[in-house]
Chain A
Amino acid sequence: MQKHIVVIGAGPAGLESSANLSNLGFRVTLVEKEEVTGGHLNKWHALFPSLASGKHTIEAIVKGLNPGIKIQTATKVTGIEAVNDYFTVSGHNGWQEKADAVVLTTGFQLFDSHRKEEYGYGIYENVITSADLEKQFASGKEFVNRQGKKPERVGFVHCVGSRDEKVNNLHCSKVCCITAVKQAIEVKQMIPEADVFCFYMDLRMFGRHYEELYKQAQEKYNIQFIRGRLSESTEDKDGNIIVKVEDTLLGKPLRIKVGLLVLMAGMEFPPATKALTNMLGLKNVSDGFIQPLDEVLHSNLTEIPGVFIAGTCSGPKSVSDTMADARSAALAVAEYLK
Chain B
Amino acid sequence: MEKKVKNFGYSVTRDRQIDFDANNHDVGKIVALAEPTLHLCISCGTCSATCTASQFTEFSLRQVILLVRRGETKGLLKEVSKCMLCGKCQLVCPRNVSTRNLIIQISRALCNHEVSGSAMLKP
Contact = CB atoms under 8 A, between A and B. Distances in A.
Contacts of A251: 60, 62-63
Nearest to B50: A231
B44 A201 contact: yes
Contact of B92 (A163, A166, A248): A166
Given A246-B54, A248-B43, A251-B63, A165 B48 contact: no
Contact of B49 (A164, A165, A201, A245): A245
A256 to B, nearest CB: 11
A166 B62 contact: no
A246 B96 contact: no
Given A253-B54, A253-B55, A246 B48 contact: yes
Contacts of B36: none
Query: Interface size bucket, B side?
Result: 20 to 34
A246 B94 contact: no
B46 interface: yes
A294 interface: no
15 contacts: A118-B92, A228-B45, A229-B45, A229-B46, A229-B49, A229-B94, A231-B46, A231-B50, A231-B92, A244-B49, A245-B45, A246-B60, A248-B48, A248-B62, A251-B60
Given A201-B42, A251-B63, 5 more contacts: A229-B44, A231-B49, A246-B45, A246-B62, A253-B49
Interface of A: 118, 159, 163-166, 201, 227-232, 244-248, 251, 253-254
Interface of B: 42-51, 54-55, 60, 62-63, 92-96
